Amino acid sequence: MRGIVKFNFPAFEAAAASLRALGWHVFSPAELDIQFGFTDELRAYIRRDIHVIVNELQNGDAIILLPGYAESVGAQAELAVAVWCELDIYTIAEVLEYGSKIATTQEAQPTDELQETFCTVAHGA
C-alpha cells in the first residue's frame, strides 16, 4: 500500500502466514513484489493483480482485505472488481475470528467449504 511504511508489507506477510496456517492457498501481491522486485511501474502491478482477480479466482474463492483498505485507491479498485466477479469478500479480522469456518457472503452460518480456497490479499495502490 503506497503511503504506508514499507508499503504495509509486514501486514501482508503476517496475514499470508495466518491464512496459510488455516489451510488457505494464498496469492499475496506483496510477496511477488518482494520476490521479483518493486519498481515505480504502477500499471504493471494493476494489470497483474486485476488479472489474478478476474482470471485466476473462481466461485468460492475470496479476497481478504487488510486494515486500511478503505483508504486505499488500489484496494478499493480490487474490491470492486472482486464484487463484480462475484467473489467472496472478507476482512482478515473475520477470517481470523472464524478460523477456517467463515460465514459466506450470503449466509450468516459458517461453512467448511472455503478452507482450501485460493485467496488474494488485496493491496492498495
Judged against a pLDDT cut of 60, whether residue 6 lies above it is answered with yes
What CA–CA distance (Å, rounded) separates 35 from 95? 26
pLDDT band at 51 (very low <50, low <70, confident <90, very high): very high
What CA–CA distance (Å, rounded) separates 55 from 70? 24
What CA–CA distance (Å, rounded) separates 78 from 82? 6
As given in the structure block, the three cell numbers for residue 124 are: 492498495
Its pTM stands at: 0.77
pLDDT digits (tens, 9 = 90+) for 77-122: 999 999 999 998 999 999 888 865 664 333 433 344 443 344 555 4
Domain ranges of the chain: 5-121
Identify which of 113, 122, 85, 88 has the alpha carbon closest to the alpha carbon of residue 23: 113
SS3 of 92, please? Answer: helix
pLDDT digits (tens, 9 = 90+) for 17-45: 998 888 888 989 888 888 877 777 889 98
What CA–CA distance (Å, rounded) separates 111 from 79? 22
